[in-house]
Structures are given as structure tokens and as C-alpha cells.
Structure 1
Amino acid sequence: MPTIQTANTVLDRHYLEMRCSLLDLAAAFDRIARSDNAAVVAQDSRLKLLRQAIDIIASEGTDRAERLQILFSDPYVEGWNRK
């Protein structure tokens, strides 16, 4: 039977990696904001998706990874693999 980890154990194991990922993300947003044509790129649909993803990450629940996957996935198209 699998052992369930405590929340503290999971946080201890992943805290530094999570912090690094957040710093990397913030730095990338800063680089975009400081770049030429930043105002034009501000309306880019990819940045809008990233902002929606941040909202999902900041929300409560146990399905954030699933919601992120759905956010970044194309909608299913019936018969996509048939000619």
C-alpha cells in the first residue's frame, strides 16, 4: 500500500524548485515588459494564457495541473485522425 506523504514533506522537497520556477517566470515577464514593443506584445494571446495560468496556480483546489493542461490544450476535434 502506498505511503501518503505529509504536506510538510512535499513542501520541504519541492519548495526551492517551486521558488526557482516562480523567479524564472517573474524575470521573463520583466524582460518582456522592458523590451521594445512591449505594449504591442501585451495583447498577445500567449501572454493572456500565461496570465490565466497564474490565476489557476494561485487558486485553491487539487486539480490545478489538470486545469493548466486543459488551458494550454487545443479543443478536441471529432475525426481529427481520419481523411
Structure 2
Amino acid sequence: MLTPQEVIDSEYLESRCALLEIAAMFDRYDSAVQRTGQNAENPEKLECLRNALSLLAKTDSSDNRAEQLLHLFATV
């Protein structure tokens, strides 16, 4: 069983990379909107990702974040 610090130490770089990839996707979307002057025709997936980030940011430690995300993603 890992300690809390060992969990952070072992997964920090991979998690940071995933967050950077998500940020880059949002940047690419915003750039495409500026370039074309149009939003996505069906923005449900984009809104789902925004909701997922919001859920992660405000969920306390007693909640099962992965399960909540699976339920959220099942709606798209």
C-alpha cells in the first residue's frame, strides 16, 4: 500500500501531462473558433469536458471521482 506522498510522487508527471494535453485541446478549440468565427455545431462533448474539470475541482475526498466521471461521460 502506497503512502499519500508516494501516490503523488509516482503519478504526478503523468497527471500533469494529461492536464497539459487537455489545456492544449481547449486552446486549439479556442483558436479554431477565432479563426473560423464559429463554435462547434454540437458542443456537448466540449461542455462535458468542462463539467468534468469542474467536478474534479470541487469534489471532496470522500467522493468517488472516477465513478462520477464515468456517469458524466455516459451521458454524451
TM-score range, shorter chain: 0.7 to 0.9
1:25 aligns with 22
With the length of structure 2 as denominator, give the TM-score of the two structures: 0.81
Cα RMSD for the two superposed structures: 2.0
For 1:54 and 1:38, the matched residues in 2 are separated by: 25
For 1:50 and 1:42, the matched residues in 2 are separated by: 16
1:72 aligns with 73
Which gives a bigger RCO, structure 1 or 2 (Cα 8 Å, sep 6+)? 2
Does residue 10 of structure 1 match 2:7?
A: yes
Structure with the larger helix share: 2
Tell me how many residue pairs correspond in the alignment: 71
Percent identity of equivalent pairs = 37
Shift of 1:10: 0.3
Q: Deviating runs (4+, > 4 A) in structure 1? A: none
Larger radius of gyration: 1
Q: Which letter maps to 1:57?
A: L
Instruction: List gaps (5 residues or longer) in structure 2.
Output: none
Kindly indicate whether the alpha-carbon contact (under 8 Å) linking 1:32 and 1:38 is maintained by their aligned counterparts in 2: no
Does residue 34 of structure 1 match 2:31?
A: yes
For 2:21 and 2:4, the matched residues in 1 are separated by: 24
1:57 aligns with 56
